[in-house]
Structure 1
Amino acid sequence: MCGLELKRGIRRRNMHGTGKDLGHFSEKVPPQALSQARKVAAALAKTQKVLVLGHVGADGDVAGSSLGLAQALRELGKKVTVYNEAPYPETFHWLAGGKSVKHELGPRVRFDATVSVDAADPARLGKHFPDPERRGTFIWVDHHRIDPPPGDINYIDLTAAAVGEQIAQILRAMKHPLSKKVAECLYVSLMTDTGTFRYANTSVRAFNLAGELVKSGVNPWDMTEKVLESQAPQRMLLLQRIMPSLFLSGCGRYGSFYVRQIDQKAVGAKLEHVHGLVNHIRATKGVEVAAIFVENDAGIKVSFRSKGHVSCQPILKKLGGNGHRNAGSIVLKGSKKQVVAQVYQALELAMPQRT
């Protein structure tokens, strides 16, 4: 086995190799994506009552793109509801509309259009996602692949660094100028999904949009301070408690944290305080894929993050789930020992051999 806990500073090597480079995105928006953005703009122009939602457990891309689109549509005089089954992390409450996100939708409420952002899968839209009769025109906006696309209108751009980039394109098509409030939302989407412009998805287009957002009034340091430099004490206390669970495989190519419910309760940690802790593992030299095990009432949620050379997709498929190349999660049933062993086996099989 390629597994060894950090006990005596010992590491064993094996023949794991690196994967392929992710490549670079084009500076230009693909023609098909431009056409799709114009169709979304035309559809939204005809609406008055709009629902905007993203995947449950909003990250920066969901929060930024949802709130940015909602704010722009409100500036155009439309009535907009932003929904997410789970509360937005406090980190995003300061954004325009961040404190007015709905967590329930009445069974009789109807919309002219429903816009899904960054969901990847309709199953992630939450239990109050309206049925077809009540949601109006269903607009699917995403930078993840899905086949077949589920919307009445689908705007999918796999080259977009974040969905916030796509929202900006829709607003250009609507000829709606970026206000400071909208720009701040889209900047949060862009900065979080590119890892503050460090990840492999960071493109010329991402930098160009960032410049446009700054021209619209965004202060980059203000964004950094509010999103990254204002961590809740619970997050730091939780990190302290889970450090003894730190695991690095013998090959050094994967590692993990384990978060017990007792530790979450001891420091008053919420789900938002767990989000991102896995990146401490991924940031370790030599680690290609990081995992974090989080106990909850449904089982043990396992989240994966990759540097991009080793895909998370086959790992999640082996475990019975779905995911993307660089990220994904699944809830597994069983004891801690069983789940950890199952995950490490899947990670081991995913590590390519050197040629």
Structure 2
Amino acid sequence: MLGFHNSTEGKIFHSTKEIKKIIKVIKKSNNFLITSHINLEGDSLGSQLAMANLLRRLGKNFVVFDADRVPTHYQFLPDIDLVQHEVDIKKKIDVAIVLDCPNMSRTGRVEEALKKIGYIINIDHHVSNEIYGDLNWVEKDVSSVGEMVYQLYKELNCEITKETALYLYISILTDTGSFNYSNTSSVTHEIVSELLECGIEPYDVSRNIYENKTIGDIKLLGRVLSDMKVVENGRIAYSVVRRRHFNLTKTQPASCENFVNFARSIKGVIVAVFFRENIKKMGLFHVSFRSVKNADVNKIASFFGGGGHKNASGCTVHGSFKEVKRRILRRVKDELDR
């Protein structure tokens, strides 16, 4: 785990070889593309916007380009319009900065643009990262990519404004499950303490992200909870959202963020699984895993071509729901029985 040392400028991370290389590339380049994974959430959005602010402070040109639209509950963020869903890139891009993304394919449609860019910086904290960049900074023990972007600000001696502090705070808040997950460290709390001193109102942030739901969102959650199943002597809990559920409740996939955590909260459950049917493609399911104790769901997700963290991972699987469920639950059982 990264540590702090005392300084007249406050608490600053120890430098690493990768960080110095990233700073060198940023300083000598002019035009950047910033992107992240599909299914945008707090860390991907917060780290991208904070990176955009950093490049702006350094006088660089940039575009933030993501495959998916920004979920409604993050649209309160300042400068959220920087995140573009459709981009006509006319200027030559010198460097692409890919944040919070374990592999290139997870960028979705943006992958085609990335293939045309000569240099890629990969900044991530997933244990499953495939080291696909020309320059790779992967720290599997940090809470979030927001925590890593904070380190870049410190190394470059750039002021963290209230706006940037909000972006970084949201990155860390959401990826630590409101500081409940095992990836929350003393360093995480040190950083958050500094960010709060910039004038962030935690109550307002929490209300916007977690308590800004539509009646359709609540009805969708109700369906998920009422149909939830517990199997394998209470060790596995799973739930599902089908395409028809989105239609009936007039909701979108972003409404399902954190649904998997309800299954994990059940006493005795070691692995929680959430199946979400793709709203556009028949026979395609997005599967989220959460675990407690030493159950490594990254191994399960990786078996199906996905990945993530030891206690939080995901994958995409083709097939009928009956077949996908059978394959996934069998693999979870095998992992628990090891």
Same fold (TM over 0.5): yes
Cα 1:149–1:316 shift into 2, 3 Å: closer
Q: Deviations over 1:44-95 (max 9, x none)?
A: 1233322111111112110110111112222333222111101121222222
> Match for residue 78 of structure 1?
60
1:38 matches 2:23: no
Which moves more between the two structures, 80-89 or 137-146? 137-146
Q: Secondary structure, in 3 states, of the residue corresponding to 1:139?
A: strand
Instruction: Tell whether 2:333 aligns with 1:351.
Output: no
1:61 aligns with 2:61: no
Which blocks of at least 5 consecutive residues in structure 2 are unaligned? 6-11
Residues 1:337 and 2:313 are matched in the alignment = no
In the other structure, the counterpart of 1:156 is: 138
**Structure 1 Cα separation of the partners of residues 235 and 93 of structure 2:** 48
Amino acid corresponding to residue 290 of structure 2 in structure 1: R
- Return the letter of the residue paired with 2:259: L
Mean Cα displacement is larger for which, 271-280 or 32-41? 32-41
Q: Secondary structure at the match of 2:81?
A: coil
Q: CA 1:135/1:293 → structure 2, altered by over 3 Å: closer, same or farther?
A: same
Structure 1, gaps ≥5 residues long: 1-24
Q: Give 2:266's aligned residue.
A: 284
Give the corresponding residue for 2:9.
none
Q: SS of 2:123's equivalent?
A: strand
Q: Give, in angstroms, the shift of residue 119 of structure 1.
A: 0.3
Q: Aligned equivalents of 1:242 and 1:31: distance in 2? A: 42
Alpha carbons 2:301, 2:307 under 8 Å: kept = yes
**Is residue 2:294 matched to residue 1:309?**
yes
Counterpart check, 1:253 vs 2:235: yes
1:265 to 215, 223, 247: 247
Kept in 1: contact 2:128–2:307 (CA 8 A):
no
Write the distance in 1 (CA, Å) between the matches of 2:107 and 2:222: 33
Q: Find out whether 1:140 has 2:122 as its counterpart.
A: yes
| Aligned-residue RMSD, C-alpha | 2.4
Q: Does 1:202 align with 2:187?
A: no
Deviation per residue, 1:104-154 (Å, 9 max, x gap): 333654212210101011111122335567424311111123576222222
Provide the C-alpha distance between the structure 1 equivalents of 2:22 and 2:322, rounded to a whole number of angstroms: 48
| Matched residue count | 329
Q: 1:301 to 1:172 in 2, by over 3 A?
A: same
AA aligned opposite 2:201: N
Percent of aligned positions that are identical = 28
- Structure 1 residue 32: deviation in Å? 8.6
Match of 2:169 in 1: 187
State the one-letter code of the partner of 2:320. S
Q: 1:339 offset after TM fit, Å?
A: 2.1
Equivalent residue in structure 1 for 2:102, among 107, 110, 120: 120
Aligned to 1:7: none
CA distance in 2, matches of 1:86, 1:308: 33
SS state at 1:332 partner: strand
Higher relative contact order (CA 8 A, sep 6+): 1
Partner amino acid, structure 1, of 2:18 = Q
Matches of 1:43 and 1:177, distance apart in 2: 20
Q: Secondary structure at the match of 1:135?
A: coil
**Aligned-residue offset at 1:305:** 1.5
Amino acid at match of 1:226: N
**1:211 and 2:174 correspond:** no
Cα separation, 2, equivalents of 1:330 and 1:132: 22
Judge conservation of contact 2:101–2:129 (CA < 8 Å) in 1: no
Q: Which structure: larger Rg?
A: 1
Amino acid at match of 2:19: A
- Alignment check: 8 A CA contact 2:102 2:128 kept: yes
Give the stretch that moved more between structures: 46-55 or 100-109.
Answer: 100-109
- Cα 1:133/1:109, change in 2 over 3 Å: farther
Once the two structures are TM-superposed, the CA of residue 293 in structure 1 deviates from its matched residue by: 1.4
- Name the CA distance, whole Å, in 2 between partners of 1:139 and 1:300: 30
Partner Cα separation in structure 1 for residue 305 and residue 136 of structure 2: 27
Question: Take 2:93 and 2:329, find their aligned partners in 1: how far apart are those partners?
Answer: 45
- Matches of 2:237 and 2:150, distance apart in 1: 37
- 2:151 is aligned to 169
